[in-house]
Amino acid sequence: MPNRELIVAEIPRLRRYARALTGDASRADDLVQDTLERALSRFSLWRPGNLRAWLFTIMHNIFVNQIKAAAHVDYLADDLLPDLPLRATQTDNLELRDLDRALGRLSADQREVLLLVGLEDLSYEDTARIIGSPIGTVMSRLSRGRERLRALLSGVELPTGAQLKVVK
C-alpha cells in the first residue's frame, strides 16, 4: 500500500493542475477525486520514482477520456436536435439591386478598383498593374470607394467631388 503522506502531499498540486485543465473548481475537485481513486486502485502498477508525474499522467488521461466522452454525447445529442432555422432570403434580391445601383453611382475609377480588389480578390499590386496606376492610388481609390459605397447603402449622400475653396 502506498505511503499515505506521499499522496496527500501531492493533492494541492493535483488540484492546481485539475483547475487549470477544467477551469472550474467543482469539476476540478471531481477530477482530483477520480485521479486519487484510480491511483489507489492501481497502485500496484506504480514503479518507484516520480509519484507526482505518475499522478499527473493519470489525471491527464482521465480528463482526456472525459472530454472524448462528452464530445461523443454531444455528437449523439446533435442527431436528436431539430435543424437550425434558415436565414430569411426574401430581401436578397432587393439588397443585390441596391448594391448594383450604389456601385453604378461610384466613379468609374473607384468602381473598377473596388471590383478588382473586393470581388475578384486581386492584390493591390495586381490591381495597380491592371489599371496602370501606383499602389497608393489603388489604395486611396479603394478607401474612398468603400466609404462612398457604405454611405450610399446606408442612405447618406456624400459629396462626389472635392469641395475646393477659391482663394484670391
pLDDT score for 66:
87
How would residue 1 be classed by pLDDT, with cut points 50, 70 and 90? Answer: very low
All 3 cell numbers of residue 60?
Answer: 491527464
168 or 147, which is more confident? 147
Q: How do residues 51-67 score in pLDDT, each as one tens digit?
A: 888 888 888 889 888 88
Can you tell me the mean pLDDT for 109-131? 88
CA 45/CA 38 separation, integer angstroms: 11
CATH class of 93-154: mainly alpha
CATH 1.10.10.10 spans which residues of the chain?
Answer: 93-154
Alpha helices in 23-132 (DSSP H): 25-41, 51-80, 92-105, 108-114, 124-131
Helices (runs of H) and strands (runs of E) counted in the chain:
7, 0
Does pLDDT of 162 surpass 60?
A: no
CATH class of 4-80: mainly alpha
